[in-house]
Structure 1
Amino acid sequence: MPFAPAALIGESFVGDGPNAAHTNIVIGRKGGPVETAWATALATPSAGHVPYMTVVRPSVPVKPLTLFVNKAVAAGELHERATWGSAQAGLAQGVADAVTDGVVPADEADDLLIIAAAWVNPKVDDLDESFRNQRTAAYRALRAAVESTPTPGEVLDAAKAGVTNPFYTPSEEQLASSRPQG
């Protein structure tokens, strides 16, 4: 059976503070729904969000071909350098690492496409840390997609412990009082 017959989806958040990376990945075969989404996103940029092919270096796109979609509008010179520089380089290296390690089969890399939605904080202040975090986030998101993790049981266990993210953690009272009824 071929790898990724339709679409696999993964997510990873790595680091903290302004240099953290949050990456969502969709990977699928050319000729399928991911190709349609990939081409549509590339052909229909919006103000502040211009998807582009991720490259290992100029004129050398990473394989599988990976579309970088920025979640935050590039704001200021350092944020622009992080978005188009360190985060793109980290994404490219994370994808290449996943292929090297067999997470994504190298012999199928030409037949696959990746869409990566990547968060780069407008307050980023360390391009090297941004690169490291994006590299790890890309790799982990691809691994999560391939391994279908977390499992539904792992999600329910985590929810029992309480939802949280780097921007908000509800109090115990909020969790109890806002639960839908009926």
Structure 2
Amino acid sequence: MPSPFAPAALIGESFVGAGANAAHTNVVIGRKGGPVETAWATALATPSAGHVPFMTVLRPSVPVRPLTLFVNKAAAEGELHQRATWGSAQAGLAQGVADAVSDGLVPAAEADDVLIIAAVWVDPAVDDLDASFRNQRAAAYGAVRAAVTATPTVQDVLAAAEHGPANPFYTPTAEVLAR
């Protein structure tokens, strides 16, 4: 009998922190044998310059469960940004996913049958690996939570739209928002 968890695909997003050490994570969660598995395998097999998807591990030779593909949104540039991308952010993603399983957001009994694709932003100006880890751990957990709880709801989005869009990189003025 099919599980009600991750019937085809669940999608979530989370942004945690501020400045150069903030983490922005998007996840797609789906069952093996479905479209998420096809996307997961295709992404792993077709890296592009600066963007090399890889399996997220808790430790070398211990991939997190559900198997999670780390897809970097920013090409790793410079020694510290590379250490943050392949080190602290990857470790934060692994721990955030493990926390989600530990807390029951992803049922442990389903973890071997589910795959996660995580698109992860690590700012090239990152300057604190510990902050990068903490923020990515929280963003990973938040993105998984958003995916499995289907939040925000349409009503949440419409309520937020009443105040206009805003993000760490741009907030339009009232003049720009006027129709």
Q: Please state which band the TM-score falls in when normalised by the shorter chain.
A: over 0.9
1 CA distance for matches of 2:48 and 2:114? 25
For 2:68, the equivalent position in structure 1 comes to 66
Matches within 5 A, 1:103-118: 103-118=105-120
1 CA distance for matches of 2:110 and 2:152? 24
Matches within 5 A, 1:73-88: 73-88=75-90
**TM-score, structure 1 as length reference:** 0.96
2 CA distance for matches of 1:74 and 1:88? 12
For 2:34, the equivalent position in structure 1 comes to 32
Shift of 1:46: 0.4
Give the counterpart letter for 1:4 in structure 2: A
For 1:16, the equivalent position in structure 2 comes to 18
For 2:175, the equivalent position in structure 1 comes to 173
Give the counterpart letter for 1:77 in structure 2: E
2 CA distance for matches of 1:106 and 1:134? 21
Shift of 1:125: 0.2
> Is 2:162 the counterpart of 1:157?
no
Percent identity, please. 81
For 1:51, the equivalent position in structure 2 comes to 53
1 CA distance for matches of 2:88 and 2:4? 32
SS in 1 for 2:93: helix
Shift of 1:40: 0.3
1:56-92 per-position Cα deviation (integer Å, ceiling 9, x unaligned): 0000000000000000000100000000000000000
**TM-score, structure 2 as length reference:** 0.98
1 CA distance for matches of 2:73 and 2:152? 23
SS in 1 for 2:162: helix
SS in 2 for 1:161: coil
1 CA distance for matches of 2:151 and 2:4? 19
Give the counterpart letter for 1:117 in structure 2: A
RMSD: 0.5
Shift of 1:161: 1.2
SS in 2 for 1:27: strand
1 CA distance for matches of 2:69 and 2:38? 12
Structure 1 unaligned runs (5+)?
A: none
Count residues with an aligned counterpart: 177
Shift of 1:2: 2.9
For 1:97, the equivalent position in structure 2 comes to 99
1 CA distance for matches of 2:5 and 2:114? 9
For 2:143, the equivalent position in structure 1 comes to 141
Which 4+ residue blocks in structure 1 deviate beyond 2 angstroms? Answer: none
